[in-house]
Amino acid sequence: MSNASIDWIHSRLKFGIKPGLSRIIYLLEQLDNPQNKIKTVHVAGTNGKGSTVTFLSNVLQQYGLQVGTFTSPFIEIFNERIAVNGRYISDEDLNRIVAVIKPLVLKMDEHPDLVNITEFEILTAIGFYYFADQAVDIALIEVGLGGLYDSTNVITPLVSAITTIGYDHQDILGDTLAKIASEKAGIIKHNVPVVVGNIMGVPEEAYEVIVAVAHEKNAPIYHPETGRTFDLNLHGQYQQDNAALALKIFEILAEKLGLIIEPEKIKKGLKQAFWPARMEDLNGFILDGAHNLPAIKRLVAEFNGSKKVHILFSALQRKDFHEMITLLQTISNVSLTLTTFDYPKTIVAADVADISDVTWLEDWREFVTAPRHADDIYLLTGSLYFMSQVREFLLTSNKSN
C-alpha cells in the first residue's frame, strides 16, 4: 500500500494561520460529529501525557473494554497515533477515512474562513471518526498542544486530566507558567472532574490558575495518591507519578462506567503498560525522549549514582537547548556527546561550539556502535524525533545480529 494518505496529511500545515476551533468544528459537523458518539477522557500537560494514557488504557483493557487512544508524536510508525487496545489503525482504515475527509477539506480550502485546516486538525477528525466507527467503549484523547485552542478540545469528557506544567512551546502558549497553565486548563469543562498531577510536576503558580478555572466551571479537582510504589515495566520516578495519576483517573471512571475496583486487574494493567523511548532499556542503552526542560530536570534526577554515565543528546533548534545541555552536565561522572540527526531545524555543530566539556559527533551511529564498558550507563536522550530514528536503528541492528 502506498503512503498517499499519510503523505497528504503531512502536506498540510503544521500549525494554523489563526488559532481557534472553527475549522475542526466545521469538519466534524460534516462527519456527523463522531466525537459526540463516544465516551472520552481528555489528557493535557507538558510531559507525561502519553505514559498516563498508556497506563490507563492497559488497566481499562483488563476489564474487557475496547479502548481507543489518540497520542502524539509517533515513535515507530505514523499509525500508532490512533489505536484501539494497542492495535494501530490499519493503512486500509486510514485510506478509507481519508477518502471521506479529503474532499471535505478541499472544499473547506475554497472558503476564506475555513481554509488551511492543519495536519493535526485532520488527524484529530480521523481519530474521532475511527473511534466512533469502531464503537469503542472509551477513547483516551491526548492534547496535541496546549489545550484551550487544541483541536481535541471539542469533547465533553467523563474526566479531564492535567499531568504536569512546565516551560514548553512558549512562543505559542506564553512565557510564564501561569499563562501556560491557563492554556492547558482550557480543557476543563463544566461539572467534569479534573485530575491534576502532584506538586513536583505542577508548580504552585500554575496550580492556582488551574484551581481558579476549575472553580469557575464547578469542576471537582482530584489528585493522585502520594507515597505508593507500583510494579512497572516503565522505569523512573516520573513513571510512578504517571501511574498514580492514571490510577486516580481510573477510580473516577470506574464509578461512572460501573466498574468494580479490582486490585489484581489494576496491578496487571499497570505492569503491562509499555511506552517506547521513556526510560526504555534497549540493547544495553537507556532511551528517554526528554525533549524539554521539565523532562530533562526529571531525567537528571534519575542519574545521581556513582556509575559513569555516557549521554548522547540531540534536539531541535529551540531557545532552551543550551539550558538542557547545562542540566545534563550536572549529572555526576557524566560524559556528554552532542550530535545532529536527519530532521528539519536540528542542532548542528555551530549551535554548540561555545559549550565546553562536551564532544560533538556528526554521525550519532558512531556512538551506538562503539565499544562499551560493561559497568557504565549509556543514555540516549533529547528530541522524540531523534529517539524515533535511534530506536529504529537499534531494533534493526539487533535483528541483523
pLDDT in tens, 204-250: 999 999 999 999 999 999 999 998 999 999 988 899 999 999 999 99
DSSP 274-330: --TTSSEEETTEEEE---SHHHHHHHHTT--SSS-EEEEEE-BS-TTHHHHHHHHTT
Q: Give the domain 4-272 fold.
A: UDP-N-acetylmuramoyl-L-alanine:D-glutamate ligase (3.40.1190)
Contact by Cβ (8 Å): 188, 214 = yes
> Is residue 391 classed as helix, strand or coil in its secondary structure?
helix
- Cα separation, 71 vs 259, in Å, equals 25
**pLDDT band at residue 1 under the 50/70/90 scheme:** very low
CA-to-CA separations, 100 to 31, 93, 127, 257, 395, in angstroms, rounded:
9, 11, 13, 32, 35
User: Which CATH superfamily includes the segment(s) 280-400?
Assistant: Mur ligase, C-terminal domain (3.90.190.20)
207 Cβ contact list (under 8 Å, min separation 6): 165, 181, 196, 199
- Cα separation, 292 vs 167, in Å, equals 8
Cell numbers given for 288: 528517554
pLDDT value of position 292: 87
pLDDT value of position 252: 98
pTM of the model: 0.92
- Cα separation, 255 vs 233, in Å, equals 27
User: What is the helix (H) or strand (E) element at residue 131, kind and residue range?
Assistant: helix 119-133
- Cα separation, 155 vs 44, in Å, equals 13
pLDDT tens digits for range 371-391: 999 999 999 999 999 999 999
Query: For the chain, where do the domains classified as CATH 3.90.190.20 start and end?
Result: 280-400
Q: Computed from CA positions of residues 318, 319, 322, 323, in that sequence, does the dihedral angle turn out positive or negative?
A: negative
Query: For the chain, where do the domains classified as CATH 3.40.1190.10 start and end?
Result: 4-272
Span 123-137, average pLDDT: 98
H runs (alpha helix) in 185-262: 204-216, 237-257
**Mean pLDDT, all residues of the chain:** 93
pLDDT value of position 304: 79
Amino acid identity of 80? E
- Cα separation, 229 vs 268, in Å, equals 14
